[in-house]
Chain A
Amino acid sequence: MTEIIILILAIAVLLYVLLGGADFGAGIVELVTGKRGIDIISKAIAPVWEANHIWLILAIVILFNGFPTVFTVLTTYLHIPLFIVLLGIVFRGSAFTFRYYDTVKDNTHKYYTRFFRISSLITPFFLGVVLGAIILGKIPSEVKGSFYEIFIYSWLNFFTFTTGAFVTLLFGWLAAIYLIGEANDDESYITFSNTSRLFFILLVITGAAVFLMADVYGLHLLRQFLESPIAIACVIIATIIIPFLWRSITQRNIFKLRLLAGIQTAAIISGWFAVQFPVMIFIEGGHNLTVWNSQAPEKTMSMLLYALIAGVLIILPAFGYLFKVFKFGNEEKKLVE
């Protein structure tokens, strides 16, 4: 039962990265492409970003219902980065909506755009910082010590900054790849392709840096990856895909491109899950919160499971329909035009 809930949580996180992450990534891409990207990006994310965002809400709800201790520990010790993430979410969503719906095209659009881009950059970075703090295992086991020791040290270090950069680049890269498929002329096609290549190279470098930095802080991430067969398989898949993905960009095969990027990201995330499971949060001194020692009582878990299954049965078809209408119907519509 718990395993199924964890599986749904994992899927929600993965979908949030693949979809919601890419919506943030679109703002990051805009930082590189400038004015040229605005129209395509606005049109691409407007119909879907709110639905995509709710994968995060779902993950949070699963946490505080099914694993209340995990939620409490996160919000207590990572209060500051989570607060920044929230500010980013508020700014990004508001700025994007204002920009999209404000029909008077005057100077204010400059500010909407600025806020949209900056918050699109900051939010993933601090999500990555939170992720880094969860992995690093410096989160204290109790509220004891100075303010710095309790509320800052666990997330303010070079390892979490590297994971922050990694998540940011991952989101930006995904967005760039998706946007290649939204491009409606050669020029923007080339712009998005080049952006995706740039982000990809930076992503690989940062990925390596994550492992290096982990070692610096005494976390032997690479060894953990090598000890887990699933993680090894994920790394192999992610690596094999690279040349195919690279070629798809030049081949202009939109479907293949998106599929490969999706698989690659899923492989990276699954690799992390495999290394992490069953730990939810690594805590200082090895008092880790695991799936087993943090889960809610059985009755709550079974009710949560029913709610999630019913929810997924309702949401997934509707969600699929949304994407069919706005993301896969494009080719036909373009033909009609």
Chain B
Amino acid sequence: MEDLLAARLQMTVSFVFHIVFACIGMTMPWLMFLAEWKWIKTGQKVYLDLAKAWARGVAIFFAVGAVSGTVLSFELGLLWPNFMKHAGAIIGMPFSWEGTAFFLEAIALGVFLYGRGRVSQRVHLLSGLVVGIAGVVSGIFVVAANAWMNSPAGFDWVSGQAINIDPFKAMFNKAWFHQALHMTIAAFASTCFAVAGVHAYMLLRYKNNEFHRKAVRIALAFGAVSAILQPLSGDYSAKRVAELQPVKLAAMESLFETSKPASLVIGGIPDVEEEKVRYGIHIPKVLSFLAHGDFNAEVQGLDKTPKENWPPVAIVHYAFQIMVFMGVLMMGAGILYLIFNFKWKGNLEKRWWLKTLVWLTPVGFIAVEAGWIVTEVGRQPWIIYGIMKTKDAVSPMPGLQFSLYTVTLIYLILTFLVFWLMRRQIMVIHENPQILYDHD
């Protein structure tokens, strides 16, 4: 295998693995905090059970997220030394802020998980809140660093060297806000739907279980709101991408020819040789509106860019379609949930609704993975958009495929283990909630 491909695949595997844990690590503390807060407010023990059960989930996911995040931070250098050599001084700043936020998160999590009875109730609850806030903040910083790769700022590139570096401008580049917003909401939507799905499954098996019923409610409350907000942030992101990275947008939509107005393509099979999309549904003028807010606006196609600078069009196109489709599914479920909450409340207990939720369990994470494929593959062949190509950044070390195989194997095993362990935990806790109190 070519070393560049091996390096890219290893980065992909590491990232695909880590992002799930990162999302859960950002979001689940909020659920845990809310359950804890409700327990203090209402005194209903089921909320305490819930807070403790979720806290165990957070502990496991956070730990694996922390170590796999460490792997990524090293891989930036192990796989892309030439990138880090130039980029380190420019975008190191969000990483150093991220370090602080992550540190605070780890400390607060230690207090929350093990401090019950050792610190006052107020401090304990506060520590849960700090975990949630610090998690979201550290996520935003990391995404800001990634956004810089899409929209490089804060330096001048003169004959292969970065000069006049301004880390502040680099961090608050043109892409940081829409990417961070979209990712944060995505983390909430994906995790909350997954949590709701798992508890809905238990509710299907064990009817009228108060523990799982409350769990579904809390998770869906967050999930529904995020799923409904997400298309708005997605629309905003699309407009920004149209402006900042027209090639990426053209690949997402498989728009080979610059068009005025441009039609939106749904589905279809892009044919890069023939430069057209087969079997897609074309909706006239809509892409112009989505990209520029004007039904008659011109949208730049791939034809404006030399072919060697095209990203892999088909992958980006499919990934984008998958992300949007999953997003629509979640939005639909979110809207239904809100409607049922106001009217026809009985539906929330119905089997068909719970089954729907079970089916939606992985949907959010599929959307997150697909979305990152759009972001990362859509930027190719560049590692720093318009500045440095990915092939020029790769490590000079031959034989990178062996580390790829190792990482892939280990992450597959870990994925399997975590699933297996979570399943076992959920069943054991369901059968004997008293276990939750053993460690105290």
Q: Which A positions have Cβ atoms within 8 angstroms of B?
A: 46-48, 50-51, 53-54, 56-58, 60-62, 64-66, 68-69, 71-72, 74-76, 79, 82-83, 86-87, 89-94, 96-98, 100-104, 143, 147, 150-151, 296-297, 299-300, 303-304, 307-308, 310-311, 314-315, 318-319, 321-322, 325-326, 329, 333
- Give B87-104 interface residues, CB cut-off 8 Å to A: 87-90, 92-93, 95-100, 102-104
| Complex interface: chain B residues within 8 A of A94 (CB) | 63-64, 67, 414, 417
Q: In the complex where A74-B77, A303-B168 touch, is A98 in contact with B96 (Cβ < 8 A)?
A: no
Given A72-B84, A319-B107, A325-B118: A300 in contact with B95 (beta carbons within 8 A): no
Q: 8 smallest A-B Cβ distances: which pairs?
A: A65-B92, A75-B77, A68-B88, A296-B89, A311-B100, A97-B63, A93-B67, A47-B114
* Contact call A297/B63, Cβ cutoff below 8 A: no
> Within the complex, what minimum Cβ distance (angstroms) separates A303 from chain B?
4
Q: Within the complex, what minimum Cβ distance (angstroms) separates B183 from chain A?
A: 20
Contact B99 A311 (CB under 8 A): yes
Is the beta-carbon distance between B67 and A89 smaller than 8 angstroms?
A: yes
Identify A89's interface contact among B71, B76, B82, CB under 8 A.
B71
Write the chain B residue with the least CB distance to A299: B165
* Residues of chain B from 103 to 122 with CB closer than 8 A to chain A in the complex: 103-104, 106-111, 113-115, 118-119
30 contacts between A and B (CB under 8 A): A47-B113, A54-B66, A54-B106, A61-B96, A61-B99, A64-B84, A65-B93, A66-B89, A71-B84, A72-B81, A72-B85, A74-B77, A76-B81, A76-B397, A93-B64, A94-B64, A97-B60, A98-B417, A98-B421, A103-B429, A104-B424, A151-B397, A296-B89, A299-B165, A300-B92, A307-B100, A315-B103, A315-B107, A318-B108, A326-B118
In the complex, which residues of chain A have a beta carbon less than 8 angstroms from the beta carbon of B77? 64, 71-72, 74-76
| Dominant secondary structure of chain A at its interface with chain B | helix
A69-B100 contact given A64-B77, A76-B395, CB 8 Å threshold:
no
A82 vs B424: C-alpha distance when bound (angstroms): 34
Given contacts A64-B88, A300-B90, A311-B97, contact A89 B70 (CB under 8 A): yes
Contact A54–B64 (Cβ < 8 Å): no
Chain B residue numbers with a CB within 8 Å of A46 are: 113-114
**Interface contacts beyond A103-B425, A307-B97, A315-B103: sample of 19 additional A-B pairs, CB < 8 Å, sorted by A:** A53-B66, A57-B70, A57-B102, A58-B103, A64-B76, A64-B92, A68-B92, A72-B81, A79-B395, A79-B397, A82-B78, A89-B70, A97-B64, A98-B421, A296-B165, A300-B92, A318-B107, A326-B115, A333-B118
Give the Cβ gap from B394 to chain A, nearest Cβ, in Å: 11
Nearest CB on B from A105, distance (A): 11
Interchain CA distance A86-B157 in the complex, whole Å: 33
Q: Which residues of A sit under 8 angstroms from B95, Cβ to Cβ?
A: 61, 64-65
Contact (Cβ within 8 A) B88 A325: no
**Known A60-B73, A86-B71; contact A51-B107, beta-carbon cutoff 8 A:** yes
Q: With a CB–CB cut-off of 8 A, which chain A residues contact B88?
A: 64-65, 68, 71-72, 296
Residues of A within 8 A of B110 (CB): 47-48, 50-51, 322, 326
Q: Which of B309-334 contact A (CB under 8 A)?
A: none
Give CA–CA (A62, B435) in the complex, Å.
Answer: 42
Determine the chain B residues whose CB is within 8 A of the CB of A54 once the complex forms: 66, 99, 102-103, 106
Residues in B neighbouring A319, C-beta threshold 8 A: 103, 107
Considering the chains assembled together, what is the distance between the CA atoms of A82 and B165 in angstroms?
A: 29
Partner of A303, one of B104, B111, B167: B167
Rounded to whole Å, the gap between the CB of A83 and the closest CB of chain B is 6
A97 contacts which chain B residues (CB < 8 A)?
59-60, 63-64
* B60 contacts across to A, CB distance below 8 A: 97-98, 101
CB distance from B55 to the nearest CB of A (A): 10
Q: Are A325 and B119 in contact, with the CB atoms below 8 A?
A: yes
B166 to chain A, nearest CB (A): 6
The verdict on A304 contacting B92 (CB below 8 Å), with A87-B406, A94-B414, A97-B63 known, is yes
Closest residue of chain B to A93, judged by CB? Answer: B67
Instruction: Tell whether, in the assembled complex, residue A297 and residue B438 are in contact, meaning their CB atoms are under 8 Å apart.
Output: no
For chain B, give the interface size range. 35 or more
In the complex, residue of chain A having the shortest beta-carbon distance to the beta carbon of B98? A61
- Does B38 touch A at the CB level, under 8 Å? no
For residue B70, which residues in chain A have a CB less than 8 angstroms away from its CB?
53, 56-57, 86, 89-90
A143 to B132, CA, bound (A): 45
Q: Quick check: B414 and A58 within 8 Å, CB to CB?
A: no
Instruction: Say whether B305 faces chain A, with CB atoms less than 8 Å apart.
Output: no
Within the assembled complex, what's the spacing in Å between the Cα atoms of A103 and B111?
21
Find chain B residues with CB under 8 A from A90 CB.
67-68, 70-71, 410, 414
- A102–B420 Cα distance when bound, in Å, is 11
CB within 8 Å of A: which of B38-86? 56, 59-60, 62-64, 66-68, 70-71, 73-74, 76-78, 81-82, 84-86
Nearest opposing residue in chain A for B92, CB measure: A65
Residues of B within 8 A of A322 (CB): 107, 110-111
* Cβ contact within 8 Å between B165 and A297: yes
With A297-B89, A322-B111 known as contacts, the answer to whether A304 contacts B435 (CB < 8 A) is no
User: Does B341 belong to the interface (CB within 8 Å)?
Assistant: no
Check if A310 sits within 8 Å of B167, measured CB to CB.
no
Residues of chain B lying within 8 A (CB to CB) of residue A76:
77, 81, 395-397
In the assembled complex, which residues on chain A have CB atoms less than 8 Å from the CB atom of B96? 61-62, 65, 304, 307-308, 311
Q: Closest residue to B398 on the A side, CB-wise?
A: A147
Measured in the bound complex, the distance between the Cα atoms of B165 and A304 in whole Å is 13
Q: What is the CA–CA distance of A288 and B429 in the complex, to the nearest angstrom? A: 57
Q: Contacts A68-B84, A68-B92, A97-B60 hold; do A103 and B428 have CB atoms under 8 A apart? A: yes
Indicate if the CB atoms of B93 and A102 lie closer than 8 Å.
no
Interchain CA distance A322-B113 in the complex, whole Å: 12
| Contact, CB under 8 Å: A57 / B73 | yes
CA distance in complex: A150, B396 (Å): 10
Residues of B within 8 A of A68 (CB): 84-89, 92
**Shortest beta-carbon distance, B154 to chain A, in Å?**
9
B209 within 8 A of A: no
With an 8 A cutoff between CB atoms, is B356 at the interface?
A: no
Nearest Cβ on chain A to B184's Cβ, whole angstroms: 21
Contacts A94-B417, A318-B107 given; indicate if A299 touches B166 (C-beta within 8 A).
Answer: yes
Within 8 Å of chain A (Cβ to Cβ): is B403? yes
